[in-house]
Amino acid sequence: EGAGHSTLRKRGRPLSADMASEGYNPDKTGTSTKALAEFVSGDIAEDITTVPGVGPAGKTALASAGIHTTHQLIGQFLSFKGEGTTTRQHCDAFFYWLKDTGITGGHPHVITRSIAQKCHAWMDGIYNVSEL
């Protein structure tokens, strides 16, 4: 267990190894490589629906959690990166937070991968695929 593991939660419970195995999976993103590449390499747009995986229903769910812009969503992702937190723990924490806000289906996987890769583009090492 890395530092910060005990602070990661899924619906109010500590994140166990079983939950982690059910968590974020970059292979379940279901978004096109082109759409992801355009998002990662493009400018950050304030409109949250520019994030792959966020549509009208996701926008409403995120707004109910106080997240209205892409910048705020990136900030929320970064808030889960504590000292000693692995990529697996970081992505799982964000993934479960998305699910808890009401993001459904495969969308939490898509959004997590999109935001993680966007952040990695300007903070090398924040998303280390070899740790997943």
What confidence tens digit (pLDDT) does each residue in 8-49 have?
444 444 454 444 457 888 877 677 788 889 999 999 999 999
Instruction: Check whether 61 has a pLDDT greater than 60.
Output: yes
How does the average pLDDT of the chain come out, rounded?
Answer: 84
- What SS3 state is found at 46? coil
C-alpha to C-alpha distances, 65 to 22, 45, 102, 130, nearest whole angstrom: 23, 19, 9, 31
> What's the pLDDT at 113?
94
CA nearest neighbour of 9 among 106, 79, 111, 114? 79
Structural element, H or E, at residue 1: none
pLDDT band at 120 (very low <50, low <70, confident <90, very high): very high
- What SS3 state is found at 13? strand
CA nearest neighbour of 9 among 104, 66, 67, 82? 82
84 vs 130, more confident:
84
> What's the pLDDT at 33?
84
